[in-house]
Chains A and B, each alone.
Chain A
Amino acid sequence: MRSSRRSPRNVLTATGGREPEVGRRAAKVLMAAAIATILGSPRTTAAAESTPAPGGDEPRPSTPAPPSTEPAPAPYFPPAGVTTLDTPAAARPINHRIIGIDASLGVRGTRLTSLGLDPFSRDDGFVQASLTLGYRAVHAPNLDLSLGVEWDYGLASSSARDSRTSLEVHELAVALCGRVPLSRRFAAFARLTPGAARLEAQVTDASALASGSSPTASLTQVHWLPSAAASAGLAFRVASVSRSQSAPVFDYWLTAEAGYHYSPSYALELRSEGRSAAGRDVQPLALGDLSLRGGFARLGMALTF
């Protein structure tokens, strides 16, 4: 039991070459092992041990680990069906297959100073979840270019003068990404995501006309806008996982980026339709202009293979 707990630390010690923090490293390897198990018991290797920087999808020659100054670690006994490339196998020439898929999941926070956001948020922050799926169209030793689709979803909710408010945003964009390896672990990347945003603003208020289908009365507006974002950031490879020497290598990344999001402003005009009634002319509730413009930061996890 004791030796199996310590074994991940030993593997990473060999790759990192220095004494790491035990808990964090152990967590990384445990995560990698878990993902490998989910993917069908592939072979696991430590981060950056046998693969080059992201974008380098060429065959990955193994490089020997720097000599460790640590005391000799306890023997590592991998789980059944999982083997590592740490020592003997690393010396062999390998030729992993490249599929060219990039997938990422992240959290994006945008600082929106538009006054139109005030009814829906007590501060200027707007948080969205991001999901990106792309295909590496260009592979070069020092550059990857990928083309994909990005979906962002965010919901801000608050109250305005005792009425509940919400702003729900879906964004669908084409993701153009270029990535440059900086070292074995790090890569820099830049992204451009032109697309469209669907904004649904809602105020739930007793003054609104209740419709038959909804038990609560609300004023709503759904609006589509063009949008675009440009960003740049760094990616840190946490782990690389492969089932065999010819199988694809799954690279796991942590990414951090910053950029600017733009969309044109539009007039917030919420309407309360209620049941249909003859002679009614609804005058919308004007809440000012809203624009999704501002700098943003995004933290995410990415998988490339």
Chain B
Amino acid sequence: MSHHDQKPARDHLHLHLRRSPVAPAGVAAATLLLALGCGGRNPVWDAPVGRAQPFALDDALAVVDPDANRVVLLTTDVTRRARVEAVPIQRGMRAATMAPDRSRLFVVSAGDAGEMPPDGSAEQGPALEVVTTSVAGRRTYPLSEPLDGIALDPRGEWAVLFASKSAGGLVSNPNELLLVDIGKPAGVAAGGAVANPVAHTLRSFGGKPQRFTFTDPLELPGGLRRLLIVETEQDVAIVDLLHPADPEITVQLTSGQDARRVHPAAVAVTDGDPGPNDARIAIRTDDRNVVIATLLPATDRDFSPSLNLTDVGAVPSDTAWVRTDAGALGLAALVPGAGKAVVIDPTTGLTVDVGLPAAYQRLSLVTAAATKASTVPAAGPGAAVPQPVDIALLWNANGGGVAFWELGRVAGQPYRSVETVGVTSAVTSVIDVGSAHPELKILQTRDTAFFVLDLKARTSAPFQTSSASLVIAPSAGGTRAWAYVPGSSQIASIDLQTLHATERRTERPLSSLFEIAASDAAPGARAPRSLIALTQTGTWAAAVYDAASAGDANDAAGDAHTDIAGLLLEGIDAF
């Protein structure tokens, strides 16, 4: 349109405004009304809640709210009053996990990942964030790559970040790891290189990481070390955490002449006897062999694995380092396909087969809890204290029940025979009860029943349930166990001393149940604990009970609770 075309239009408008007595007021009013519509709201109000995920820290319920870029911390006090705090996290949350001791929450975020940040916001890069109830404990570790997998050290010293299968980048290297020393703050070394985290790219022969195992400190030829063992699809890599940037040691499980690929299934680590040259890593594979790597001195580095391959006759389902008679170290392997267990001498590679009454698939050592006072050999005057013989608990997810396996040598038998317990159901998991009753284990089954197993008395108390989807969680002190069915309104409390079960009803169907410590306990005093029944419908609700009262059938205050609705709406105004 030319200027000649536009001019008459402007004239017409001017004439119209001048002639109309209402027009100025109308234009002013319209302008004002248009101005009313200005100003948007915080976009978090429009964010969905479907991806929110709860974690039970020791002293808070932490809800990761990725669409709102925050973690909602719900803490309680001794009067059951709840406090909700929203902790901002970086945009683009990829993964979250809780420390094994429930002290911290780790959140991995990609940041803006190359996209434009929201209006008025600074650009954010990838980061690992540590969220705690204490402000002083919160840390942020900038990352060089937007990774989305995280594995944590059980001792709380290290975290390893990697690209998992769900990594959404155009190109990513799954063998590129970032090792974060979570005991230290993020640091930048001279020259701009990042000192913490440390980037470590695994030398790959075609595999990519599947599992990570952080070892306890091991007496190695070069001194006391911790190792990170990385299982890929076809080999095992050993990273020295004292020198995380140094090249790793790779244990290849498949020879170059064999087209068939052997995959690692699990590793078991032992420090051996006191001394530096007998730390060993047992690698269970998906074929009939077990590989034992003994870490011995080397010329070009502090240590190097010496490999020993042992055929156990069929595919092993579980392995564990055990102490047999006289404290001799052995590797116990369950071989359900052959209905036996095999004990391997790690020095000679000799094996001893032990027949089992059922095809047990899983094994865990319960020596301390299951040792009867009468079975511990007495030490004579001046004699060395005898090492206890390990006791293993065997169970099977496909049926066959539970058995105790004592690994001491007796006359006529290489190892003491297996003692079965009267549990015939398929055991899906074995749950430790806790400090108050270390001798008790809760056996979850596929049926509408669970068992409380007494390791010392070798008894198993059955409990009938109304649903096979029952969730059981021991209380923090181990005095009772909580049981519930997700979606129902019933909470059962089992007194683990008397084995008496009581029930309470919640006002809403509950999705999950958590026990946390109250945050304002007096110094030195044992913090009272709150029981939180979480309902993950709408914007989530929580009912906070006093854990001691709720679990006590004789306590009339057991029904007293604090009700919170709209949990995921809290704290948005403060953002």
Contact = CB atoms under 8 A, between A and B. Distances in A.
Contact of B541 (A118, A207, A286, A295): A207
Given A109-B32, A274-B507, A287-B573, A256 B25 contact: yes
Interface in B8-50: 19-22, 25-26, 28-29, 32-33, 35-42, 44-49
Interface stretch (A58-66, A121-129, A133-141): A121-129
Contact of B539 (A185, A205, A258, A283): A205
Interface string A47-69: 00000000000000000000000
Given A111-B35, A161-B539, A208 B561 contact: no
A261 B42 CA distance: 24
Contacts of A278: 559
Interface in A202-250: 203, 205-209, 217, 219, 234, 236
Interface in B44-92: 44-49, 80-82, 84
Contacts of B328: none
Contacts of B47: 161
Contacts of B564: 283, 285
A186 interface: yes
Contacts of A270: 566
Given A119-B569, A207-B539, A208-B541, A283 B562 contact: yes
Contacts of A110: 36
A198 to B, nearest CB: 22
Given A280-B507, A285-B566, A162 B537 contact: no
A109 B28 CA distance: 13
Interface in B75-121: 80-82, 84
Interface in B414-471: none
A236 to B, nearest CB: 6
A17 to B, nearest CB: 12
Interface string B184-217: 0000000000000000000000000000000000
Given A118-B45, A124-B39, A280-B507, A208 B573 contact: no
Interface string B553-570: 000010111111111111
B135 interface: no
A244 to B, nearest CB: 29
Given A160-B569, A163-B539, A111 B36 contact: yes
A279 interface: yes
A41 interface: no
Contacts of A286: 84, 570
Contacts of A178: none
Interface in A91-130: 109-111, 113, 115-119, 121-127
B569 A297 contact: no
Contacts of A295: 32
Contacts of A18: 19
A280 B26 CA distance: 55
Contacts of B222: none
A122 B565 contact: no
B21 A185 contact: yes
A110 B560 CA distance: 44
A272 interface: yes
B507 A209 contact: yes
Contacts of B42: 115, 118
Interface in B521-571: 535, 537-541, 557, 559-570
Nearest to B81: A283
Contacts of A123: 36-41
A185 B40 CA distance: 39
A288 B573 contact: yes
B574 interface: yes
B559 A282 contact: no
B508 interface: yes
B361 to A, nearest CB: 42
B33 to A, nearest CB: 5
Given A205-B539, A207-B540, A281 B562 contact: yes
Contacts of B541: 207-209
Contacts of A109: 32-33, 36
Contacts of A234: 25
A297 B538 contact: no
A207 B81 contact: no
A80 interface: no
Given A209-B563, A256-B28, A279-B560, A118 B22 contact: no
A254 interface: yes
A21 B22 CA distance: 12
Interface in A165-188: 185-186
Q: Considering residues A124, A126, A270, which has the most beta carbons from chain B within 10 angstroms of its beta carbon? A: A124
A217 B20 CA distance: 53
B49 A162 contact: yes
Given A119-B45, A278-B559, A209 B565 contact: yes
B54 to A, nearest CB: 14
Interface string A16-30: 001001000000000
A299 interface: yes
B570 A206 contact: no
Interface string B243-265: 00000000000000000000000
A160 B84 CA distance: 18
A277 interface: yes
A113 B39 contact: yes
Contact of A254 (B22, B49, B537): B22
Nearest to A271: B565
Q: Considering residues B47, B560, B564, which has the most beta carbons from chain A within 10 angstroms of its beta carbon? A: B564
Q: What 10 pairs across the A-B complex have the smallest Cβ distances?
A: A288-B573, A206-B538, A297-B32, A124-B39, A125-B36, A207-B538, A207-B541, A118-B41, A279-B560, A285-B566
Given A115-B42, A281-B560, 9 more contacts: A161-B45, A162-B539, A163-B566, A206-B538, A207-B566, A280-B561, A281-B561, A283-B564, A288-B573
25 contacts: A109-B32, A111-B35, A115-B42, A117-B41, A122-B41, A123-B36, A159-B45, A160-B569, A161-B44, A162-B49, A162-B538, A203-B566, A205-B538, A207-B566, A208-B541, A209-B507, A209-B508, A209-B565, A219-B566, A236-B25, A280-B560, A280-B561, A288-B574, A289-B573, A297-B29
Interface of B: 19-22, 25-26, 28-29, 32-33, 35-42, 44-49, 80-82, 84, 507-508, 535, 537-541, 557, 559-570, 572-574
